[in-house]
Amino acid sequence: MDMLLELVMVPVTDVDRAKEFYEKVGFHADHDHEINDDLRFVQMTPPGSACSIAFGKGLTGMEPGSLDNLQMVVADADAVRAELVERGVEVSEVDELQWGRFVFFADPDGNGWALQQLPDWSSGAGGSGENPYV
């Protein structure tokens, strides 16, 4: 039985500020619907991803900034870091770890993101549909 993760809620304080930030990072705005004064739904998708994030008003009881280490896989940590810096996003230096090369950033509320370039020994991971760790 397949179980596809397709949407992750991200708690934010200011919906417009969050939308502007994620557009700067390169996410595509899929939906932005204000149902009423108490309910707004924004869905955004990172380039190349099958999973989107959602934020808004009236969507979650999580505290803004409470998500830590949301992770996306990238082909080249140096290139993605350079592109984000060029777009005006504050990002860490590339962190070399045994399990990959990482770049970290946070949205305006402090929700933390990690961008991982997979190590060579994990070839086939991150999109092949196969689990290379089995």
Q: What is the pLDDT of residues 3-48, one digit of tens each?
A: 999 999 999 999 999 999 999 999 999 999 999 999 999 999 999 9
Q: What is the CATH code of the structural domain delimited by 7-122?
A: 3.10.180.10
pLDDT at residue 134, as a whole number: 34
pLDDT digit string, tens, across residues 62-113: 999 999 989 999 999 999 999 999 999 999 999 999 999 999 999 999 999 9
Which sequence spans correspond to the domains of the chain? 7-122
Interacting residues of 67 by C-beta distance below 8 A, sequence separation 6+ = 10, 11, 111, 112
